[in-house]
Structure 1
Amino acid sequence: MNFVISRNSLTWALLGLWLGTTLLFWQFYRTESTQTFANAVATTADSVVNIYTLTNQPVPFSSKQKQTITSLGSGVIISKDGYILTNHHVIQGASEVILSLNDKRQTKAKIVGTDAPTDLAVLKVDLNDLTPIQLGNSETLRVGDQILAIGNPFGIGQTVTAGIVSAKGRDSIGLNVYENFIQTDAAINPGNSGGALVDLSGKLVGISSAIYSSTGGSQGIGFATPINDAIDIMTSIIKNGTVIRGYLGIQVQQNNEQVAQALNLPSGQGLLVTSVTPLGPADEAGIQAGDIILAIETQTNLSAHTAQKLVSQLTPGERVSIKGLRGTQSFIIKATVDKLPAMQAAH
């Protein structure tokens, strides 16, 4: 009887030891797998390209020109048929654009179009066996999420840096006309521009754009354009050759209680119209400088940035409802949206 009990105890003890060892190995494997970014990098590396641009520069005291390399940057393969996203400033002024792929192939690229206000550009290459990157959803990113930046810093070759999403919706940096940046502490250095910001599943969530630095080196503040915004820009460039934006022809500033008190305004809410373009859509609709705009269509929680973005997304020819105040009198008017003239900010 005692022998049977001892045998059963031994069996249970061995089983417990086996289960405990298995659990420890599983926990170790799980910890190790979460500490490496290798899988995410492996799925995206072939989708990130190095960009070299050439420009024609005049030779002093001669009618001849010489071609020189003026900039290095990065780009991301978006589609199997060769469309590539990068930054406008990477290829600006280039007479020739050369791409170097991760598999060592090199090729010339055609500039499909650029959009300076968002600092984005679309290139096209004719190559087989391209590896387009998987697209993520930048709207679902959360502050604190881990991300990777992949690009060609300083022209030394493809490099990966890791960090987190430090902030979203940065819009007053002064880098672009239209800003909605993802901020990250992943090291983004010169040459990373146009490269990929990816999540830990290897999906593209942003296009690296710029660093905020007093020295020109990475100081833990980098900015990327959300991929949802970038794809909209790319689609418009491919379809129209440019980005078509709505335009009302007004300049506004954020209203608040201090501004209202200083200018003797009836309300500290909304946006204060500071100027109206003569014969523009807002002018023809009756908007005047000094008016307070409280709502555009159904959007009531307006800032200067959200109003700019809202108007830019309107379709030329569309009738838009504007609610506001002139003095103590409220008004609702309809304005016909026009197409944004070149090199202006949409309001």
Structure 2
Amino acid sequence: MRKFKLLSWPVTVGILLALLIIQFFSDRINPPATKVEVVETPPPLSDSIIQPRISYADAVDIASPAVVNIYTQTVVREPTNPLLNDPLFQQFFNIDRLPQRERIQSSLGSGVILSPDGYVVTNNHVISGADSIVVSMQDGRESLAQVIGSDPETDLALLKVNLNELPSIVMNTSDTLRVGDVVLAIGNPFGVGQTVTQGIVSATGRNSIGLSTYESFIQTDAAINPGNSGGALIDPNGHMVGINTAIFSQSGGSNGIGFAIPALTARQVMQDLIEHGRVIRGWLGIEVQEITPRLAESFNLESVNGVIVSGVVRNGPAHQAGLQPGDILTAINSEAITTGRNLMLKIARTKPGENVHLELLRDERRLSLVAQLSEQARSPN
């Protein structure tokens, strides 16, 4: 028994030493893990959160109730036999006495309520020749419209509806519209219902487009499609700056080139149609020719600005003021003349009886003349 005790003591000591050695080397081989404090950084705010949200909903809320849909119907009479449409047959038959059938031709467009008493402006080509015109409001009300007057030379027409509590649009007739300004087009494209599109002003004072006699269009890339004609072009304040009129497109759909008649022109036409039933314009009584680089060289001109007077109506305002063929008009009322259409528009906007101051070149001499405008002869609608 004592021998067993003597033998167990060294074994115990050996086991303890072995445990100490194992502990010592294990700490060196596997050092204790270092505690690392992790600080979480919040993700950066996105641009959509930092930047203010841009919306034109307020402008649309202000203007859209005054933009209406216009539906027209025209009774078309045509021969019962298609052969009678041939001009050769028409030479031998009086087709008016032959049996004819009637069909209803429908079209659509847009319009804008200009006053609470029911005056609605639209394009003349929207309602021209129509037998019935229906104006449909945003709130669902409808009314037959009466044509107060039309002006094909600006492609504008004025209608009247008899409804109560009508909203009306605010017109921005100032001359402050600039290229790059944001505009919104409101109308009824393709008859799908009131639609709003956004764009910018691409150009101002566009003429020589060939759409009407007096042209000074606002050009925009806001989408304008069939059915938008007569609708409103508005600014971010919800004020109307133009009447959507036409697009430049080979496909018939929007191609980013649309044209609107300025609100100033629409207001002037509306006032004349209400007061006189027609538009009254000034008349100078001249014919003009554009100055080409070749003509500028032959006349020893420094630039192609201005127009050459090619004809003067005898006893007309220009003749009485002393204007002669061959004179080069450079300015009217201190405003430079750039093209013949530009001159026509300035004269037409001046009322008969008012004087205009003309600056011109004659035989390389600068002259100033004063002419009193007459009223332009009425053109058939």
Class of the TM-score when normalised by the shorter of the 2 chains: 0.7 to 0.9
> What is the CA–CA distance in structure 1 between the aligned matches of 2:173 and 2:332, rounded to whole Å?
27
Structure 1 counterpart SS, 2:275 = helix
- Equivalents in 2 of 1:309, 1:235: separation in Å? 17
Distance 1:191 1:300, change over 3 A: closer
For residues 13-58 of structure 1, the C-alpha deviation after alignment (integer angstroms, 9 at most, x for no partner) is xxxxxxx9xxx89x849623x1x33222222222111101122222
> Does the 8 Å CA contact 2:307/2:337 hold for their aligned counterparts?
no
Whether 2:286 is the aligned partner of 1:265: answer: no
Provide the alpha-carbon RMSD of the alignment. 2.8
TM-score normalised to structure 2 length: 0.76
Structure whose CA Rg is larger: 2
Identity %: 47
Given that 2:120 and 2:160 are in contact with CA atoms closer than 8 Å, whether structure 1 keeps it comes out as yes
Distance 1:140 1:329 in 2: 35
Cα distance change, pair 286–136 in 1 and its aligned pair in 2 (3 A): closer
- Say if 2:129 is the partner of 1:90: no
Question: Which residue of structure 2 lines up, in the alignment, with residue 151 of structure 1?
Answer: 187
After superposition, the C-alpha distances for 1:310-344 in whole angstroms (9 at most, x for unaligned) are 21122223343434333345544443311111349
Tell me what 1:55 maps to.
Answer: 74
CA distance in 1, matches of 2:239, 2:330: 39
Give the secondary structure class of the aligned counterpart of 2:121: strand
What is the letter of the counterpart of residue 115 of structure 2? S
Contact 2:109 2:228 in 1 (8 A): yes
1:44 corresponds in structure 2 to 63
Residue 10 of structure 1 is matched in structure 2 by none
Counterparts of 1:79 and 1:324 in 2: how far apart (Å)? 43
- The answer to whether the Cα contact below 8 Å between 2:75 and 2:105 also exists between their aligned partners in 1 is no
* Paired residue secondary structure (2:143): strand
Distance 1:59 1:172, change over 3 A: closer
Tell me which amino acid in the other structure corresponds to 2:373: V
In the alignment, what sits opposite 2:347?
Answer: 311
- What's the TM-score once normalised by structure 1's chain length? 0.83
1-side partners of 2:64 and 2:50: how far apart? Answer: 24
2:76–2:105 contact (8 Å) kept in structure 1: no
Name the structure 1 match of 2:52.
Answer: 31
Cα 1:73/1:326, change in 2 over 3 Å: same
User: What is the letter of the counterpart of residue 94 of structure 1?
Assistant: A
Aligned length, in residue pairs: 321
Change (3 A) 1:133 1:336: closer
User: Which aligned pairs between 1:142-291 and structure 2 lie closer than 5 A?
Assistant: 142-255=178-291, 257-261=293-297, 264-268=298-302, 270-291=306-327
Q: Where does the alignment leave 5 or more consecutive residues of structure 2 unmatched?
A: 1-41, 81-97
By how many angstroms is 1:218 displaced?
A: 0.5
Aligned equivalents of 1:317, 1:138: Cα separation in 2:
25
In structure 2, what is the Cα distance between the partners aligned to 1:300 and 1:52?
Answer: 42
Deviation at 1:67, TM superposition (A): 5.7
136-145 or 232-241, larger mean C-alpha shift: 136-145
Distance across 2 between alignment mates of 1:218 and 1:188 = 6
Query: Is the contact made by 1:56 and 1:65 (CA closer than 8 Å) also made in structure 2?
Result: no
